A and B are shown apart, each in its own frame.
Chain A
Amino acid sequence: MKILNNVLFFIFLFFLYNLNVFQTFSQDSVSKNTIPKIVETKSLEADIAPENKQKSFPWWVWIILLFVVCFFIGIIAVLGGVGGGVLFVPIVGSFFPFHMDFVRTTGLLLAMSGALSSVPSLFRRGISNIRASILFAFVASVASIAGAIVGILIPENIVQLLLGIIIFCIFLIMFFTKSSDYPQVKKTDKLAQIFEINGCYFDESIGKEVIWKAHNTLISIFIFLIIGFIGGMFGLGAGWANVPVLNIIAGFPLKVSVATSSFILLTSSSTAAWIYINKGALLPIIAVPSIIGVMLGAKLGVELLKKVKSQNIRKIVMILLLIACVRALLKAFFI
């Protein structure tokens, strides 16, 4: 399995390296400043000055590369237990020539699609908590709107700079947090009582019923406001943060946290995505191959999950996040 992990890692690094080269090449040939205003789309080719008609990679090469990268992101996101958005936005935003507006919209659509495909099975298994899902999803979605509005207003280099910092923070969260399968909650709080945030489920791994209750609900709501804002601002979704908050802060069992997180992610991402779509930041040619790639990769990831040690993959995710973080910071300073 160690060999598989290493192979997977080097394949991914190979792609990242190549993409970086491609991007430099593409940026040289098609500079943003040299693109003239095109009045009629049909005459696009005619309107582009001859000096700009240098050789660039055909569109389908980019789309195939995007699909392949997203396929690997899908595998690694499942194996590493993080949402696809948190890997997609920094990696594609840093190594592909697409503007961050389009990347963030796609990141949110990815997060939404991934959550949408997992929510039915998680709900069927009866693990998720509907009451907490609805409450926290509402809080996160309101904040995600604010995040998206702010995110779309700030210049791309500032977005890249902040993204680099946020990705580094996510790296630190992944490095330092230790989840607990069954957190001990001695006393539930008033808000959790009002919203009846508690429950029971049958845990197949231990063969018995688990009864649980929540605490720190107000603190959790506050943190979900921040997570929603960041998720909306950078198009990251929020899978990277939902689970630690529900598990460590609110005291949900790990499986309940994962199941509840998907619903929150689905709702907050779909809300924030509207802000970007309404700004015209949706390019189907970027969004669709990414969604399909990640979803197919995630399906393979679920199969590999039985064979691969998640701790090793988690390390790969952290290394990828660090690489993407450095690249985003460099891009912020036009390097």
Chain B
Amino acid sequence: MKKEKSSKYNTKRREIYVSVFDLYGKMAFIFILLTFLIYIFQIFEPQIPPEKLTKLWSMSSSEFSRTIDSNISGWGWIKLIYKSDYMNYLPIIFLSIIVVIANLRILPFLLSEKDYKLALISLLQIIVILIAASGVLK
């Protein structure tokens, strides 16, 4: 009975969101944990070993960037992706892009249902996040 009741309110839209957030969310958390273990056990060489960070983490982000003499702002960290500390960026970036994936998945469905108002907001949402992610807003 309870199952019937709850399924009545589970629309296709909800199912789309649930599938994206559930699957990609779990994937992101597993990768976060994995890359962090690689970092702290220094399986791959880090750009900045953890023991050196106690001298650096009280600096502002710009001061930090200047001090380590690596341009990690914007997408500059990509160049250091083979370093175990910057490897951690990947799953975190993935975590931050899940909302875009969810909106990309729901957009065709909203259009097929002729729900143009919501489709427009969903599209604008994707654009806003992509602009924020692009690094042009500084």
Contact = CB atoms under 8 A, between A and B. Distances in A.
A270 B96 contact: yes
Interface residues on B, range: 35 or more
A284 B39 contact: yes
Contacts of B114: none
Contacts of A279: 61-62, 73, 138
A39 interface: yes
A39 B69 contact: yes
State the main secondary structure of chain B at its contact with A: helix
A131 B106 CA distance: 12
A317 interface: no
A101 B11 CA distance: 40
Contacts, number: 217
A83 to B, nearest CB: 16
B53 A283 contact: yes
A285 B93 CA distance: 15
Contacts of A266: 21, 99
A253 to B, nearest CB: 13
A44 interface: yes
A104 B28 CA distance: 20
A138 B76 CA distance: 28
A260 B129 CA distance: 19
Contact of B6 (A39, A156, A202): A202
Interface of B: 2, 5-11, 13-14, 17-18, 21-22, 25, 28-29, 32-33, 35-36, 39-40, 47-48, 50-62, 64-70, 72-77, 85, 88-89, 92-93, 95-99, 117-118, 121-122, 124-125, 128-129, 131-133, 135, 137-138
Interface of A: 26-27, 30, 32, 35, 37-41, 44-45, 48, 52, 56-60, 62-63, 97-99, 101-102, 109, 112-113, 116-117, 119-120, 123-128, 130-131, 134-135, 137-138, 141-142, 145, 149, 152, 156, 194-195, 200-202, 204, 263, 266-267, 270-289, 291-292, 295
